[in-house]
Structure 1
């Protein structure tokens, strides 16, 4: 290499190194910690795709504080240990001042110590375990309903739909066990008898042993909490075993269209608690925003079924952007403080954070709208709460 060529290469390298920080300074990073592989991959991918729509929409309008937002997306592999490692990477290596994640309750709970260690806030878009906002972590702000709130919203329907005795079949983690506990407490208060609680591992494919026990029970209803893919297997196995009991799913089983597509006739008659009504945009809290989101989702080639999960990523990034705007700064401490002043309308209702947890270390909890829908004749119909 000639001296001239060498000098030119060094000059180019120097310019590139100088440009790097300048480019980075023109964006505000948001860390996205979601399951893109593993048991919850489908749901995590939907959330990420919804987040991308929000980021593009915000950037098209000029960004936040005069800068574009940049999503730094990492795969937690549906694994709590990996979720914690991803959070640390996003905070220490990628220098993201705020995170969104981590879909499942066990994943989010694993991340939370990292938030306290580095004093970086996280917007929780999906997880429903009560412990997330009651354990005393002031860096957590959740827009999804904890299972206790979901249960309270469902309480007025208990007598209307005639529940007498309920069994539970739930995923064996913080999400599933928490839902079973919170719904059981509510049902007992409403005079409903609570029977069996059966659990299953998140990777389980054959639930015939648990279903056989539930078939022999005298309960009229089975409440289920798990991911969409596992629900599909459960409905097919119930049909094979001839189980005809009422089924109500809880805690984020927000993809009835995917269930219809995958489970077919086996899903007929099942009921699902959801926090978004894409089937009836005019009934949502912000019809114009819902129609925009659904149109953009379709324009990007995504299947309609995914909208019932992806809206959380969309609302999550919009909530974070609102906090950064109010903070007037992309510093973690300022964003954490500003979350308490966020007041906006999400696709599933008002987003505003009330204090939850021990005094002085409260987490923020928003209160979304909860709906009960039913699959009938291969389509979704609303059962008003």
Structure 2
């Protein structure tokens, strides 16, 4: 028996290992089966393998501690390919074939939107890092939990930062996505309040290999800032074309769209000065430092911190639920996630301490690597810090965390 089952694509990628369960975790009952659906390929491919690694680490730790009330935990992983159709096919396998009790780690908002109905119709909680406002507005019956701030909160804080930096005239280039229009609406509102404006707005198809029309529109509008609201492949092309066109204004983009891969692809003269922002993990916390140690020399990005918390929440909620019929386990996890992540219970920051406390009959309140994981009535995270960085000579310099 192994602690993880992986789909064919994940196996070919070598994204995860399959360690044998520790002896203490060998089945006294049927395994608790959890599903992971990160983007191992496609636009989210730079992040998915680490997200899955974080989930597997929590599962291994829980199994080493005896599992959930003596039941081993089995992780089944599939690659959503950052593609809604592939995500739906993979989710169907996890739900219909593997019979998972929860699905964790969807990244792209379009994938999460496509997968979500399968989850709530089958009473399987979905824990996601997707940000589109529309996701938690779906009629999900409480089965969606989002650790990523919604897009309105992200864009509002990002726009306020730009206003503090002196931006008064922004051009918004947005990849076609579920959060493009909501991002535009929020940015217009916040810039107007700051005495500025959004000078232009274009939604583009992100699979294009050139963006000359879009860049020409930027130059005609004479903005002081361009907001590149896209993904790594298309933002890389846009940065190159803006540089060649001689744009000298501020460039601002989500951190998932510019990372070390960008520095390996583009010369420093193209990336210098690019400002990124992202939800900030609790980098000074013990739980985050343990995750760093587990990852070795690999950077722990916010998504990996969040999926570390996804796995911990699902396991602790299953333990808190106690003995329930297999067909009701997903609903029981849904009903207990808030119970193990808020309230007056014993503060815990890892799955081992949480399982031990629950086994002793004590209430727990889990704080994760991504910060406190308290959810509102829609399933949105209640708040988080944001981290702003500037690219300098192939590295990032922190500008602000607040």
Question: Where does 1:89-108 land on structure 2 (aligned, <5 Å)?
Answer: 89-108=93-112
SS of the residue aligned with 2:164? Answer: coil
Q: Distance in 1 between matches of 2:193 and 2:340?
A: 34
Q: Does residue 217 of structure 2 align to residue 213 of structure 1? A: yes
Deviation at 1:292, TM superposition (A): 1.7
Determine which structure has greater relative contact order: mean sequence separation of CA pairs < 8 Å that are 6+ residues apart, divided by chain length: 1
1:163/1:204 CA distance change after superposition, 3 Å: same
Deviation at 1:254, TM superposition (A): 6.8
Counterpart of 1:253 in structure 2 is 256
Deviation at 1:131, TM superposition (A): 0.5
CA contact (8 A) 1:143 1:368 kept: no
Q: Distance in 2 between matches of 1:236 and 1:25?
A: 56
The partner residue of 2:307 within 304, 307, 313 is 313
The partner residue of 1:132 within 115, 130, 135 is 135
CA contact (8 A) 2:68 2:315 kept: yes
Question: Where does 1:243-282 land on structure 2 (aligned, <5 Å)?
Answer: 243-250=247-254, 253=256, 256-265=259-268, 266-276=270-280
Task: State the Cα RMSD in Å.
Answer: 2.4
SS of the residue aligned with 2:33? Answer: strand
SS of the residue aligned with 1:30? Answer: strand
Counterpart of 1:170 in structure 2 is 174
Q: Distance in 1 between matches of 2:74 and 2:189?
A: 42
The partner residue of 1:368 within 363, 373, 384 is 384
SS of the residue aligned with 1:163? Answer: coil
1:150/1:141 CA distance change after superposition, 3 Å: same
Deviation at 1:156, TM superposition (A): 4.4
Counterpart of 2:362 in structure 1 is none
CA contact (8 A) 1:342 1:352 kept: no
The partner residue of 1:154 within 144, 155, 158 is 158
Of 56-65 and 374-383, deviating more is 56-65
CA contact (8 A) 1:349 1:368 kept: yes
Deviation at 1:236, TM superposition (A): 2.0
Stretches of structure 2 lacking an aligned partner (at least 5 in a row): 1-25, 342-365
Deviation at 1:106, TM superposition (A): 0.6
1:378/1:37 CA distance change after superposition, 3 Å: closer
Of 53-62 and 268-277, deviating more is 53-62
Q: Distance in 1 between matches of 2:263 and 2:306?
A: 21
Q: Does residue 376 of structure 2 align to residue 354 of structure 1? A: yes
SS of the residue aligned with 2:47? Answer: helix
CA deviation map 1:7-65 (0-9, x unaligned): xxxxxxxxxxxxxxx96944211111222233332232232222222322333333333
Q: Distance in 1 between matches of 2:369 and 2:180?
A: 25
Counterpart of 2:286 in structure 1 is 288
Counterpart of 2:72 in structure 1 is 68
1:310/1:93 CA distance change after superposition, 3 Å: same
CA deviation map 1:208-239 (0-9, x unaligned): 22112112212111112222233222222222
Deviation at 1:147, TM superposition (A): 1.0
CA contact (8 A) 1:341 1:352 kept: no
Counterpart of 1:340 in structure 2 is 338
Computing the radius of gyration over CA atoms, which structure comes out larger, 1 or 2? 1
CA contact (8 A) 2:171 2:199 kept: yes
TM-score scaled by length of structure 2 = 0.79
Stretches of structure 1 lacking an aligned partner (at least 5 in a row): 1-21, 278-283, 357-362
Q: Distance in 2 between matches of 1:221 and 1:62?
A: 53
Deviation at 1:320, TM superposition (A): 1.9
The partner residue of 1:323 within 314, 317, 324 is 317
Q: Distance in 2 between matches of 1:263 and 1:196?
A: 26
Counterpart of 1:17 in structure 2 is none
SS of the residue aligned with 1:45? Answer: helix
Deviating 4+ runs (over 4 angstroms): 22-26
Deviation at 1:317, TM superposition (A): 1.5
CA contact (8 A) 1:254 1:308 kept: no
Q: Distance in 1 between matches of 2:202 and 2:155?
A: 19
1:241/1:249 CA distance change after superposition, 3 Å: same
Deviation at 1:118, TM superposition (A): 1.1
